Amino acid sequence: MVGFSSIFSLSVGRVRVRIKMHLLVLLLAAVLLCVTHAVNPALKVAGQGMALLKPVFALENQLQGKLLGTLGNVDVAEVQEELAAIQRNKVTCIYTYALSPFSTEAIACLDAVGAKYEKRELGLEWFLLGPRASVLRAELLALTGQSSLPQVFIGGEAIGGLATGTPGLAALQESGELEAKLRAAKAL
């Protein structure tokens, strides 16, 4: 009988790959999650847990936006107009960080259903943002009440992040409402 931690061997030409079965099972589970378009449950729980730190993140967000915005002479009215235009023009877009697993998962969720959207990357991560991106992030907090990214707008409506917000991308997906909402916004 083959044990769970048995080694699986595969030869391709001269290359021989040996994979422990439990790693193969994990890899297959990850592939199935992608194929079934399910949101990564670990990220969903982590995102909900991060909500407990919301007051700390909100304060940091406001201080960073004020300090870097002042130092960089950022036109706050111009940033506010960018956000108002999203709502006015019923834009479907996502604000992200390049290194954020939450942003990556939210993008994968939108891509999995074939959504048409604008990806607006603010930077690598919150602590690496420049002046304008810091102000934009602070204005997103003022507009949506959420200081973290990703932030998703569908047809100009802020729906939250991956697992946070009103209702959040994961909640829309799980309820079956995501595709209908995207269709109504002409983003599918």
Residue 18 has pLDDT above 60, yes or no: no
Same domain, 43 and 29: no
d(CA 166, CA 172): 9
Same domain, 115 and 174: yes
What are the structure tokens assigned to 176, written together? 């079956």
- Beta strands 151-154 and 93-97 are antiparallel
What are the structure tokens assigned to 9, written together? 């061997």
pLDDT tens digits, one per residue of 104-124: 999 999 999 999 999 999 999
d(CA 43, CA 93): 21
d(CA 36, CA 111): 12
Closest CA to 50 of 160, 175, 174, 172: 160
- DSSP of 151-181, one letter per residue? EEEETTEEEESSSSSSS-HHHHHHHT-HHHH
| Per-residue pLDDT, 34 | 43
Q: CA 81, 84, 85, 88: dihedral to nearest 10 degrees?
A: -150
Same domain, 114 and 85: yes
Same domain, 65 and 146: yes
What are the structure tokens assigned to 151, written together? 């932030």
Find the mean pLDDT for residues 77-86: 97
CATH code (residue 60): 3.40.30.10
Same domain, 46 and 4: no
Quickly state the pLDDT bin for 165 (edges 50, 70, 90). confident
d(CA 8, CA 18): 6
The conformation of residue 38, written as its DSSP 8-state character, comes to P
Residue 140 has pLDDT above 90, yes or no: yes
Higher per-residue pLDDT: 151 or 42: 151
Q: Provide the whole-model pTM.
A: 0.76
Find the mean pLDDT for residues 156-174: 93
Same domain, 46 and 19: no
Note down the domain range covering 5: 1-36
Same domain, 32 and 112: no
Same domain, 11 and 49: no
Same domain, 148 and 162: yes
pLDDT tens digits, one per residue of 149-164: 999 999 999 999 998 8
Domain tally for the chain? Answer: 2
The conformation of residue 39, written as its DSSP 8-state character, comes to P
pLDDT tens digits, one per residue of 46-61: 777 777 787 888 899 9
Same domain, 4 and 53: no
Same domain, 104 and 32: no
Same domain, 29 and 93: no
Higher per-residue pLDDT: 16 or 39: 39
